[in-house]
Structure formats: structure tokens, C-alpha cells
Amino acid sequence: MNTDTGASPEDLRNRLVDAILQQDPSGLRDARVESAMRTVPRHAFLPDAPLKEAYANKSVTIKENPDADALPLSCASQPDVVHFMLVQLAVREGDNVFEIGAGTGYNAALLQHLAGSSGHVTTCDIDPDVTAYARRMLDANGCDDVRVVTRDGALGTEEFSPYDRMIAAVGMWDLPGTWWDQLAVGGRLVVPLRWRGLSRSVAFRREKDRMTSDSVKMCGFLPVIGQDGERNDYIDDDRLVRLYWDEDQPITPELLRDALTGPKSVVWTDATVGPVESFDGIWLRLSATERATCRITANPAAMEAGLHRPASPALSPALVEGDSIAYLTVERTAEDPVTEPRFRLGAVGYGSAGADLAERICAQIRAWSPARTVEPSITAYPADTPDTALPDGAVIDRPSVRLVITY
């Protein structure tokens, strides 16, 4: 049950929104979304969480996974992510909105606030425990007009379509064909899309024969149940270094078993970043230029055993071809006590083609450095679209769509 922190829920809610507007790196702003988040009481959808936790800028688990090594089954999303995804969605008064991933019902309440009395909101989840919880919370908070449906979100809810806006609160590896059918031409889809080991909130505009992005922002979400096109495995005997890749990539972890114990090639660029400056765009550029792009994670024990440190041990971009791998790395530049520390960017490679792969990563670091905030364009086409109808760019095929990523 919520407990007294000495501050009212309204004060805590306003402080949270103030902090989001000051600190959110997405740069996205919308006065209507701000108003909704200052109005809808998040704590009321998390009655078992202390007020301080309900109004902290972090996700809150509402259903644990019985598998101790697996991710939770359902969470209340982190508020700053909720904020910028709603800005990306741009809900208008009177819109018909579909949400995939019901969570606590809080996001659906925000959507109802934005769509107004003339709009309609339908939220869907595959887990009946989650939808039952969302239904209780929505009813308890005066949102009984929100439709709550227990169904695989990939099927959509055709009976209430067409939709002006669709938003997914779960990580999607594919864009189901049913969504194309149920989203009106001219509508918007915001989805945490997963490809090449990364996850980004992509805002698509629905056109007649395609969906075209106009916003791509960093995010992380629990993956949707039922889409199993992502692969992962350890590449060392001690199970300390792990790769994540897509099923369409010809990556064989067994070929890399000996690579990390052999000689390494380290290549540096002149590009540097400050201690809190993002270099996320390098990964995006790699995914748009290198089919071999994937993700590497390394346990601290791997570095203690001699592995060259990835730029971010928990999730760094890598290139893998055959028996060779290279990944992004950073190194602090010479100390200067009167200036902010800087870190130069480079890549380290292992295996017979490790040096070449490292050079290719550095080429994308150099391409990114002078235009660090530029976002790629991601265009989704139906899976039966012929090659001749696709623009130039990196093509990533999924069962339902063909993604084209360009700069």
C-alpha cells in the first residue's frame, strides 16, 4: 500500500514531470502530454508501491517471471519513456487509439486523457492476469470507458478498428500484418522496435504502401511473447561473453570460441565523448551499413580475465563474420585537472579478420562524429514488396515486413 512520504501525490507527480522535462535526453516536448502526466495519478495504478517508488523515474514490476533468470512478465514503464513515446504518438482529441501491452492501465489512462471524451482507447495483453489488473485499476480510477482485451497483441483488435494511433508497450521484432490492416492511412504507430541487438522507439507514419519513421529514440522494453527471431549464445568456454543477433544473420558462436583467447587488434579514432555524452548513434549507423552488426555483453569477470573492455560491457555494438569479432571500445584521454575528462572511441578485433572488422567500426565512428544527433530513416514495407520497389539502404527482412534503414 502507498505510504506517506511527507509530500502529497500531486507534489511528487509534478516534481517527476519537472525532472523529466529537465533531464530527458530525447528533446521531445508536448504541452498536452505534460498536462496528462501532471493529471493522471501514477500511484493509483501502483497501489502496492510506496509513493516515493511510484513517482521515481524508473520501471516497476507488476508481475514477476517464475523463471528466476528471466525478465519480468509485466512492468509499469519508466515515466520518461512513457513521456517521449506519447509525444511521438501525437494523440489528438477524438482519436481511436490501440495499445499493445496493458501493463497497469496507467498508459491507457493517459491515452484516454489525450483522446478526450470523443475518443476511444483499447488496450490489449496476452496475459489474463495483466488485463484483469489493468481493468481493476482503470475502473477504480474513473477510466471505465477504456476497452481492455485479453488477446495476443499481434492479432490486434479488428472489431474496433480502424485506428488513428497505435502504440506498443512491448519490444517488437516484427510488425504484424494485422497492424497494417487496422491502422488507418495517415495514422501513426509508435513501437519499441528491435533489430541487430538494439532497441529503439520508432514513430512511423502510415502511408498507402509503407510506414516511414520521423522519430527514432533510445528505449528498452520487455520483448513481446511469441516473436522468437532473436538469438543469443555465449562465445567463450567460461560463459562470460554473450552475443545477441537476428535469425537472418549467419553467425555461428562455436566459430568464435578460440577468438577471444588469441591476439587482438585495437584501432583508435580521433572522435571523443564526455563522461555523459551518448555515442548511441554509432550502433545505429552500423546497423544501416553492416549486415554483421550485433550486440556483445561481457561479465566483469571477463575483463578481469583479460578481455579488452567493450565500451559498455552490458550492451555494445559488435561485428561478427566467421571466426572473427570486433566491438566498440573507449579509452580515457590524458588527464587534465582543469577540464572535463574525455574518452576517445575505437574498436578492438579478435580472430583472423578482427583488424578489418575493427577498421569498419571506426569508419562508422568517423561518419557519426560530425553529425552526432542525426537519426536514421526507417521505412517498413510489406514482406511481399519486391527488391525493385525498395529504396537504397540496409534491408532487414522480417516475416511480416522489410525494413530499410538509411542515413
Distance CA 137, CA 251 (A): 45
Instruction: Report the greatest alpha carbon distance in the chain.
Output: 65
The answer to whether 77 is a known catalytic residue is yes
Residue tagged active-site, from 26, 77, 199, 265: 77
Q: Can you give the chain as a three-state secondary structure string? A: CCCCCCCCHHHHHHHHHHHHHHHCCCCCCCHHHHHHHHHCCHHHHCCCCCHHHHCCCCCEEEECCCCCCCCCCEEECCHHHHHHHHHHHCCCCCCEEEEECCCCCHHHHHHHHHHCCCCEEEEEECCHHHHHHHHHHHHHCCCCCCEEEECCHHHCCHHHCCEEEEEECCEECCCCHHHHHHEEEEEEEEEEEEECCEEEEEEEEECCCCEEEEEEEECCCCECCCCCCEEEEECCCCCCEEEEEECCCCCCHHHHCCHHHCCEEEEEEEEEECCCCCCCHHHHHHHHHCCCEEEEEECHHHHHCCCCCCCCCCCEEEEEECCEEEEEEEEECCCCCCCCCCEEEEEEEECCCHHHHHHHHHHHHHHHHHHCCCCCEEEEEECCCCHHHCCCCEEEECCCEEEEEEC
Give CA–CA dist 122/137, Å, rounded: 15
CB-CB contact of 234 with 226 (8 Å): no
Q: What are phi and psi of 194, to 5 degrees?
A: -115, 130
Kindly list the catalytic residues: 77
